[in-house]
Structure 1
Amino acid sequence: MSKKLILIAFVVSLGGFLFGFDAGIISGVMNYANPEFNLTETQSGWVVSSPSFAAMFAMLFAGRLSDAIGRKRVLIGVAAFYAVSAIFSALAESYHMLYIARMIGGVAFGAALVLAPVYIAEVSTTKDRGKLVAIQQLNIVLGFFAAFLSNYFFNEALNSLTSFLTDGNVWRYMLGIETIPAIIYLAALFLVPRSPRWLFLKERENEAATVMKFIHGEVIGLQEMNSISQQSDNSAQGENEVSYKVLFKKSLRFIIIVGLIVAILQQITGINAVYFYATSIFEQTGIGTDASFTSSVLLSCVTVLFTILAMLLIDKMGRRPLLLFGTAGIAISLLLCAYGFNSAKYQLTTQSIDQLKFAEKELLRPIQNQVFLSDVEFKNELKQRLDNQVYLANDGDLLQAAITMNATLVFVGILGFIACFAFSLGPVMWVLLSELYPLKVRGIIIGTIAFVNSLISSLVQLVFPWELANLGNALTFFIFGAIALVGLFIMIKILPETKGRSLEELELELVGEKV
């Protein structure tokens, strides 16, 4: 595998880094933006989920657009959208401006998440395709790590006596710093070549051959071109324009169902709820705001390590074993979190109320020493006695003062969930999608499946604050765990293995006819 190929794959998947950075940043931002704009649970959920809502429409059309004008051109537009979103998010003067700016970013990462694995698969060899496509997931988790680390340092600076940061402006700097990697991504994209398989799709064989030789060298480049040419009758050079009718072709039904199930399962188990609300979730265990920021950094470190593990194993073990073992671990970890939260008790004693640092704490005296077995009942009682803005600004301190639980159990469950996701559903889904579908229809099918994936993601993020407020921590995580368990049994029955076959061989095996 050439260094040139690795560099190209890394650059193209930097859109994943920006997605991870945005997702990680918002988990810290909402601690300050919620009281700043006095947001309800629904509004808070919409600020977090609105990029995913916008992304699903971008995913639906990005593949089709890239089929028409090329993967590279669309990705350059994506990078520009990222920069615009970061700038306007940081400058937001209202709740409405904030979520609109974030939706612009959602369009960017929706297109990037679809096109990066497609592009990488189209420039890769069979031997290295899995680990190269998984670079996108590595970039995503590196983005999370960078974001959580950035949030941690901003939070530390906020607590410094000499800092210019305040509760009212720190979140703007958290969001605005994303402009830097966005501009780097935009500049780097001009240095990568066009997809050779896309050039072949457009009957520009000489250009495709030139790119293949540039990436792989003379010998491997010619081998790859011969592989494409030998399967051209079964791939892209059909005379008819591809339409969405292809989604209903009988020959494609099985692989579309497989893609949909894996894509839905990836999001419906709550991964983005955990990532986007990581700081808030750790606060629910009562460890405090500062410790929550620190724990989020550790979470992102675990994600990076297990994503690298997936990249090392995916072309050796195969896609199916990683998905099955990982999903089993996800189910166990989520159920462990549910058990841990279910055992929690909440009690504000006279001493703990005395130690609170806000003036309105005296309003809590009527419930001192009262024991609550449900986090929902406890939070509702607090909301009735405190102004919403006061509650939002101090909820972490209130939980820390009142909760009695085994926080380690939940912490282990969250880290286990993240680790298992990072070496299974996270990277493997995009590898699988980039391999299952014929070249001619790859863009339109992956775009459609990614649309469903992002729809589920946005709904989970939107509903998550409501679930915590109305169903409670324990039931919320139990639901996620039960869904993961059901998904595991479905995948055991239907999931194929795609390791070790060229894209053209997979087309013959899984489809068997010209599309």
Structure 2
Amino acid sequence: KKSLLCNNIVAIVAALIMGFSKMAGSFEMIVVGRFLYGINSGIGLVAHGLYLGEIAPKELRGAVCMTRAVFVAFGKWMGLVVGLRQILGGENTWHLQLAFSGLPALIQVIALLWVPESPRYLLMERGNLAQCIDALQSLWGSGDFTEEVEDMMAERAQMKGESKKNLIQLVRDKTIRCQFLTGMAVSAGMQLSGINIIYFYASDVYHQLGISKDNIPYVGIGSSSIEMLTSVMCGFIIERAGRRVLLWKGYCFMALWILFLIITLCLKERFSWIPYCSLVFIFAYILTFGMGPGSVTGVVPLEIFTQSNRSIAVVAANSLQWFSLFGLGLVFPFVIDAFGQFSFFLFFGNCSLASLFTFYVLPETKGKTLLQISEDFDKLRNAMKNGMCPYFSKRPIVSNQTEVLSTRL
């Protein structure tokens, strides 16, 4: 909570700097403000996700954590709306558009004053059981929290004497290597799926359809609305369908839409109606992304790590996403110049691999405690040591040799 409060102050300061940049006639103020916005975004995504993961009951953890993806999509949509020339995108109001992000930051600062600290943080980090129960009552209402407190106490007992890890220690720790590699693969897979490139390339498709340059921003708002609405829909089904299903099926359909998009781009010069098919496949791709990887990816790192490792693991996962986006944005213009529409096979391959990975490796986390999820990864690690994947093996993977012997007897 305190991290979110301090982080919002950074956003407000950045908004003020950029808001007054026009009056001062200083582009350096814009650079400084954008730099502060970058810091705010990086910290906010991590702190917001951690807070949501720690205040949610296990039965609703996926839906609660999903709200981050919903409001990220809403932020994209709102940015496109206020960026219209008729609103704040004009020559006389552009500085107000740059400062607009300070408004939600101010609203969150005020709202956080009435929000309790995370119950898991109060009990597991500070050891204050009374404050933990008060926070649970404030968040969930009156009731019996014995089971939730016992789960937190069991996790706290397991991590007793274990200090917070830094990134190097996290990478070297063999006991959580499966969780770490899974979290990194899922996070990088989302950015390398090409969603941001598809958004960029969609403008060319809109132009080919005869949509005027002045109307293309409105079509962009429409496509962004699809992502926002599908994120909301995913929040209603994530606790029923599960994380693993939404991920592997989502990537599977995204690979299919990209393949169809490549075909239509190859045929666009032969038939006048082909660009309309390209538009349909772009919208289908965005819809599938919002229903699956775009919404669920941020939930996975919050669920597969215990309290002592979660913070640095989520930082690493988010950092890898930004580095993947940076690298892709740097390299892809040269790739598309060399290979044209066939460069989209890169995203077809990534989505196909991500679908196979999440299907065969990622365990389902729906409705499980963090200790139960950790045990599932222990079984996966033991299976990999034996040179097999638990989903291919017909024998049940057991946790120790004693169970194997008793079964044989």
Q: Give the TM-score normalised by structure 1.
A: 0.66
- Tell me which of 127, 136, 141 is aligned to 1:217: 141
Change (3 A) 1:252 1:241: closer
C-alpha distance in 1 between matches for 2:146 and 2:138: 11
Q: Tell me the residue number matched to 1:193.
A: 116
1:199/1:208 contact within 8 Å kept = yes
Provide closer, same or farther for how the CA distance between residues 81 and 410 of structure 1 changes in structure 2, counting only shifts above 3 A: farther
Pairwise CA distance, 1:186: 2.4
Q: Does 1:304 align with 2:171?
A: no
CA contact (8 A) 1:340 1:474 kept: no
The verdict on how the C-alpha distance between 1:157 and 1:434 changes in structure 2, with shifts beyond 3 A counting, is closer
Aligned with 1:136 (options 68, 71, 82): 68
Residue deviations 1:152-202 (CA, integer Å, cap 9, x gap): xx33469xxxxxx75x44544433333322221222222211111111222
Distance 1:343 1:78, change over 3 A: farther
Is 2:181 the partner of 1:257? yes
- Structure-2 residue corresponding to 1:84: 13
State the secondary structure of the residue aligned to 2:297: helix
Q: Distance in 1 between matches of 2:188 and 2:69?
A: 17
- The more displaced of 496-505 and 321-330 is 496-505
Alpha-carbon shift at residue 472 of structure 1 (Å): 6.7
Answer yes or no: is the 8 Å Cα contact 2:245–2:359 preserved in 1.
Answer: no
Render the CA deviation track for 1:244-287: whole Å, top value 9, x for unaligned. Answer: 31332111111111111110110011223345776566446552
Supply the distance in 2 between the matched residues of 1:482 and 1:99 (Cα, whole angstroms).
37
**Structure 1 residue 511, shift from structure 2 partner:** 4.4
Kindly provide the amino acid, as one letter, of the partner of residue 145 in structure 1: W
- Please, which runs of 5 or more residues in structure 1 have no aligned partner? 1-71, 159-164, 346-372, 374-402
State the alpha-carbon separation in 1 of the partners of residues 13 and 214 from structure 2: 30
Alpha-carbon spacing, 1:428–1:206, altered in 2? closer, same or farther (3 Å): same
Q: For residue 110 of structure 1, what is the amino acid of its counterpart?
A: G
State the shift of 1:456 in Å: 0.5
CA–CA separation in structure 2 for the residues paired with 1:228 and 1:194: 15
CA distance in 2, matches of 1:283, 1:189: 44
Query: What secondary structure is seen at the aligned counterpart in 1 of 2:161?
Result: coil
Deviates more, 1:471-480 or 1:118-127: 471-480
CA contact (8 A) 1:263 1:450 kept: yes
| Alpha carbons of structure 1 residues 343 and 127: separation in structure 2 relative to 1, 3 Å | same
1:145 equivalent among 73, 77, 82? 77
Structure 1 stretches of 4+ moved >6 Å: none
Q: Which has the higher contact order (CA 8 A, sep 6+)?
A: 1
Post-superposition CA distance 1:447-503 (Å, at most 9, x none) = 1122111111222234455555x2476234332223212322232221211111122
Contact 2:171 2:177 in 1 (8 A): yes
Aligned to 2:370: 503
- Mapping of 1:155-304 within 5 angstroms? 155-156=85-86, 166=90, 168-169=91-92, 171-200=94-123, 201-235=125-159, 237-244=160-167, 245-275=169-199, 279=203, 282-283=206-207, 286-304=210-228
User: SS where residue 155 of structure 1 aligns?
Assistant: coil
CA distance in 1, matches of 2:282, 2:108: 31
The residue aligned with 2:390 is none
Aligned counterparts of 1:75 and 1:170: Cα–Cα separation in 2: 29
Aligned residue pairs, count: 375
1:192 and 1:275 mapped to 2: Cα distance? 36
Show CA shifts across 1:365-409 (max 9, x none). xxxxxxxx9xxxxxxxxxxxxxxxxxxxxxxxxxxxxx9673312
Does residue 486 of the first structure (1) align with residue 353 of the second (2)?
Answer: yes
Query: Which residue, out of 439, 449, 459, partners 2:327?
Result: 459
Identical-pair percentage: 23
Cα pair 1:279 1:289 within 8 Å, conserved:
no
CA contact (8 A) 2:250 2:293 kept: yes
Matched, 1:438 2:329: no
Q: Which consecutive unaligned segments of at least 5 residues does structure 2 have?
A: 382-409
Q: Any idea what the Cα deviations from partners look like across 1:11-58, whole Å, max 9, x if unmatched?
A: xxxxxxxxxxxxxxxxxxxxxxxxxxxxxxxxxxxxxxxxxxxxxxxx
Counterpart contact for 1:127–1:315, Cα < 8 Å: yes
Tell me how large the CA RMSD over aligned residues is: 2.9
Aligned-partner residue type, residue 198 of structure 1? Y
Distance 2:308 2:357 in 1: 28
Query: Aligned runs of 1:45-60 on 2, under 5 Å?
Result: none
State the distance in 2 between where 1:171 and 1:343 align.
40
Q: Is the 8 A contact 2:231 2:291 kept in 1?
A: yes
- Matching residue within 28, 34, 54 for 1:122: 54
Q: TM-score, normalised by structure 2?
A: 0.82
Q: Partners in 2 of 1:481 and 1:286 — Cα distance?
A: 28
What is the aligned counterpart of 1:333 among 246, 257, 270?
257
- Relative distance call for 1:315 and 1:343 in structure 2 (3 A) is same
- CA shift, 1:96, in A, is 6.2
CA distance in 2, matches of 1:102, 1:466: 26
Q: 1:284 to 1:75 in 2, by over 3 A?
A: farther
1:74: how far off? 1.2
Task: In structure 1, give the amino acid aligned to 2:99.
Answer: G
User: Equivalent of 2:36, from 98, 104, 109?
Assistant: 104
Q: Distance in 2 between matches of 1:467 and 1:84?
A: 39
8 Å CA contact 1:285–1:410 kept in 2: the answer is: no
Cα distance in 1, alignment partners of residues 202 and 35 from structure 2:
21
Tell me the amino acid that sits aligned with residue 281 of structure 2. G
Q: 2 CA distance for matches of 1:89 and 1:343? A: 45
In 2, the alpha carbon distance for the partners of 1:76 and 1:324 equals 36
CA distance in 2, matches of 1:157, 1:171: 9
SS at match of 1:125: coil
